[in-house]
Amino acid sequence: MNAPLYDIPVTRIDGKETTLADYAGEVLLIVNVASKCGKTPQYAGLEKLHADYGKRGLAVLGFPCNQFGGQEPGTEAEILDFCRTIYGVDFPMFAKLDVKGPDQHPLYHLLSEAQPTRIVPPGKEHKPGAEVRWNFEKFVVGRDGSVAARFDPDVTPEDDILIQAIEHELAKPA
């Protein structure tokens, strides 16, 4: 699989440079996260998805971002300690990056361009715009590296619409 997504350089939370090629053939749930946000409790649901679906080929990937209200001010070591201590996070975490604006990371440029419309929970109003709206916006990437769906931050990890999208992608052949 040679999807452009797998060639984008990223930095693990421990500072090691890598790409997402390590995850080729898996279904990815890419989430911009923050430790001091009203949506921070979503870490628990993300970890549950990681535990429940990891053996079937789902990789939850957390990308801290401090662009929304300064809600991720800590260092990478502080972020990792918080996530592990408070929420038992075991899924892969990466270094802080920008998900929008002039310094938008190439990963988020690709994700946002590939899927400019986000899915919102039933009964919620769609907020237009291709820019990432807030912390905990979620992108589902298929096993082939294509961006399959994008979910508003108000869609929690437990929401059926997200779980159905993940299960749909997991059911496709590698």
Catalytic residue check, 65: no
Residues 6+ apart with CB under 8 A from 89: 43, 46, 47, 62, 83
Q: How far apart are CA 168 and CA 145, in angstroms?
A: 15
Q: Which of 41, 54, 27 is nearest to 83 (CA)?
A: 41
Which one is catalytic: 29, 37, 107, 149? 37
Give backbone dihedrals phi and psi of 18, rounded to 5 degrees, phi first.
Answer: -160, -170
Neighbours of 129 (CB within 10 A): 12
Q: Which of 167, 134, 168 is nearest to 151 (CA)?
A: 134
* CB 154 within 8 Å of CB 127: no
Enzyme catalytic residues: 37
